[in-house]
Amino acid sequence: MPNFQLMRRKFQTAGMTHAIFLSLPITLFAVFYVYPIVSTFNLSLHSWDGFSPTPKYVGLRNYVVLLNQSRFYHAVLNNISWLVFLLLGPTSLGLLLAALLDRGMKGESVFRVVFFLPFTIPAVAVAAIWRWMYEPTSGLLTTILQSVGLGGLAQNWLGDPSIVNFALMGSMLWWTTGFAFLVFFAGLRNIPVEYIEAARIEGATPWQVFWKVSFPLLWPSTIVVLGMAAVDAMRLFDIVWAMTNGGPAYASEVLATQMYDTAFGRFEMGRASAISVYLLVIAGLIIMPYIHQLAKRVQDAEAE
Amino acid sequence: MNTAVARRTALPFSILVVAAVIFAAPLVVAFLTSLKSPSEITRVIALPNELYFQNYAIAYDRMGRSFLNSIAITVPSVIFSLLVGAISGYPLAYMRGAGGRVVYFFLLTGMLVPFQIVQIPLFFLIRSLGLYDSIPGMWLVHTAYSVPFCTFFMRNFFASVPRSMYEAALIDGCTPAGYFWRLLLPASGSGLAALAIIQSRAIWNDLLFAITLTTSDKATPVTATIAGFASSLQVEYGPLMAATLISLLPVMVTYLLFQKAFVRGLLGGAGK
């Protein structure tokens, strides 16, 4: 016979234990997220070079000035193009590769490793490798075009403002598709074979089986991939900074690299803070529904 | 029958082969370039006439120290971030009611924060703590910024452990803390392994905190060194490719070795 009184006492100490456990992550969160965000917000209302003893209060001027700068709009637009690209590009290529591979294909493990490997590489390494691929005179891309007689199409891939963003996205596709691929691949493996078999027996073509049966069941994987893509698009920094530093002539600049240049290149800390507040607001608007969804799953699970 | 199957898979197979060649090409070219002497380097597709290991010597010379720094930063940071994730995920997986949900939501919002918003105050905070350009400073920063994702990951993992195990342990006289340390954590090897792999990639590959918070040989990790290497005016691609390949090796090897654990962890996280 269980001792109910003892058990109740145990569940009371559980509350204490939980509070003690949570105090460390909450402290870290308060010190490294809440405090710096509040402090950045405060700094964005000032003009400061990072050295002088007192920042000068300027109200909302930093925000207003940015709204009148085409350089700022250009970076916002670039972030939005990246968002669209990252939601669609690596996601659909990853899904395609995973769907093609999900048939007991020979060499499956080799394909899996080859598609996934680029994802493990540091952004700076991706940048170094692709700067070499895009080298205008003897890089791989130009060399291949020349060897098939299309040398005239070769461009200064990273040096031309109208091409640079596409070139960066190409390297990003190579880098991040592996993640989407693996999540979808694992998701497809999770679908019970009977569902697929049942559809086949009823005469569905592989195309129908995929879109009518597999794809809807992949929704949890899709949510993960899209959520990560949105977060990446807002945080995007390393690849751009290491490949073009936002150039040529700010053409490939995103908010994160513009903020870095403003803070640590021009030492306009207040202006830079205002850029990052804008970035946080944009990221919040786009990603908050996703976070809400993640947290809501808890509530649903508890309600069951 | 077999030929029918072969015909049906021929098109997907050839698409996969083409994709695999495109995916592998940059790494293969980088590897070949790293073994070529300066006079050969512009012949991109050709194999090297003779193996030129000098590139690796130059690369090692310029980044050997930072490679060690990266190891010294990554290994403890991964361990700390796992520990904090577990400590934070445990109560959130077991607490009932609004309190736990509010804390969970609050911590999760950290996942959407672009690090640029903390960058400037963080620089001054770390400097005032005397941790600027130091390896322990990087431990602290990486651990702190891992809290949201590690909490999310470990909470979900713990939630998949049957609750009856917890209740049975309490009836048998275990304290809630004792259950965590003696039963739950030792039984969570697969979740911790998957998270360790994800975290080692994130921390080893970090560039933003590295260039903001380190400056000298004392603490600069390999990513920051390569960024500096690559942005010098006259880029020498031979040594740069050698350095790049050295820098990507540890995480790549880790993933190849622990692929299964990683996929299992992803399934746990994504499948629910």
Give A 100-119 residues with CB within 8 A of chain B.
Answer: 100-101, 103, 105-106, 110-111, 113-118
Beta-carbon separation of A129 and B27 below 8 A = yes
Beta-carbon separation of B208 and A238 below 8 A = yes
Give the residue on B whose Cα is nearest the Cα of A113.
Answer: B256
Q: What pLDDT is recorded for position A97?
A: 93
Query: Is A183 near chain B, with CB under 8 Å?
Result: yes
Beta-carbon separation of A301 and B147 below 8 A = no
Query: What share of chain B in percent tops pLDDT 70?
Result: 93
User: Tokens standing for B248?
Assistant: 């990507």
Tens digits of per-residue pLDDT, A275-304?
999 999 999 998 888 888 877 776 666 655
Q: Single out the residue of A187, A214, A24, A197 nearest to residue B85, CA to CA.
A: A24
Question: In this structure, are residues A37 and B117 in contact, taking their beta carbons and an 8 Å threshold?
Answer: yes
CB neighbour class for B186 (10 Å; exposed up to 12, middle 13-18, buried from 19): exposed
CA distance B235 to chain A (A): 10
B115, B116, B118: best to mutate for the A interface, most A CBs within 10 A: B116
Beta-carbon separation of A29 and B23 below 8 A = no
Q: What pLDDT is recorded for position B47?
A: 78
Model confidence at B1, in pLDDT bands (50, 70, 90)?
very low
| ipTM greater than cut 0.95 | no
Backbone angles phi, psi at B40, to 5 degrees: -95, -10
Q: A267: helix, coil or strand?
A: coil
Tens digits of per-residue pLDDT, A57-80?
888 989 999 999 999 999 999 999
Model confidence at A3, in pLDDT bands (50, 70, 90)?
low
Beta-carbon separation of A33 and B15 below 8 A = no
Q: Which residues of B are less than 8 Å from A3 in CB distance?
A: 171
Model confidence at B8, in pLDDT bands (50, 70, 90)?
low
As its CATH architecture, domain A44-303 has: Orthogonal Bundle (1.10)
Q: How far is residue A269 CA from its own chain's centroid?
A: 25
Q: Which residues of A are less than 8 Å from B269 in CB distance?
A: 224
Q: What pLDDT is recorded for position B272?
A: 36
B101, B112, B170, B204: best to mutate for the A interface, most A CBs within 10 A: B112
Q: What pLDDT is recorded for position B94?
A: 85
Query: Is A249 near chain B, with CB under 8 Å?
Result: no
Query: Is A39 near chain B, with CB under 8 Å?
Result: yes
Domains and CATH numbers, chain B: 1-52 (no CATH), 56-270 (1.10.3720.10)
CA distance B140 to A24: 12
DSSP secondary structure code for residue B46 in this structure:
S
Beta-carbon separation of A132 and B176 below 8 A = no
Give the pTM: 0.88
A254-263, B10-19, B118-127 — which is least confidently predicted? B10-19
Q: Which residues of A are less than 8 Å from B118 in CB distance?
A: 32-33, 36-37, 40
Question: In this structure, are residues B195 and A89 in contact, taking their beta carbons and an 8 Å threshold?
Answer: no
Beta-carbon separation of A132 and B103 below 8 A = no
Given a cut of 50, whether residue B23 has pLDDT beyond it is yes
Question: In this structure, are residues B9 and A105 in contact, taking their beta carbons and an 8 Å threshold?
Answer: yes
A72, A132, A279: best to mutate for the B interface, most B CBs within 10 A: A132
The more confidently predicted of residues A66 and A13 is: A66
Beta-carbon separation of B91 and A124 below 8 A = no
Tens digits of per-residue pLDDT, B48-92?
777 778 888 888 888 888 999 999 999 999 999 999 999 999 999
Residue with tokens 């596409």: A166
Q: What pLDDT is recorded for position A162?
A: 85
- Give me the total of CB pairs closer than 8 Å, taking one residue from chain A and one from chain B: 300
Beta-carbon separation of A32 and B122 below 8 A = yes
Give the residue on B whose Cα is nearest the Cα of A140.
Answer: B44
Q: What pLDDT is recorded for position B269?
A: 47
Beta-carbon separation of A120 and B248 below 8 A = yes
**DSSP run (H or E) holding A57:** strand A56-57
DSSP string, B179-226: IIIIIITGGGHHHHHHHHHHHHHHHHT--HHHHHH--STTT--HHHHH
CA distance B164 to chain A (A): 14
Give the residue on B whose Cα is nearest the Cα of A129.
Answer: B30
Model confidence at A8, in pLDDT bands (50, 70, 90)?
low
Q: Which residues of B are less than 8 Å from A284 in CB distance?
A: 112
Beta-carbon separation of A13 and B248 below 8 A = no
Query: Is A124 near chain B, with CB under 8 Å?
Result: yes
Question: In this structure, are residues A190 and B271 in contact, taking their beta carbons and an 8 Å threshold?
Answer: yes
Domain range annotation of chain A: 44-303
Beta-carbon separation of B101 and A295 below 8 A = yes
CA distance B193 to chain A (A): 16
Given a cut of 50, whether residue B227 has pLDDT beyond it is yes
CA distance B239 to B38: 9
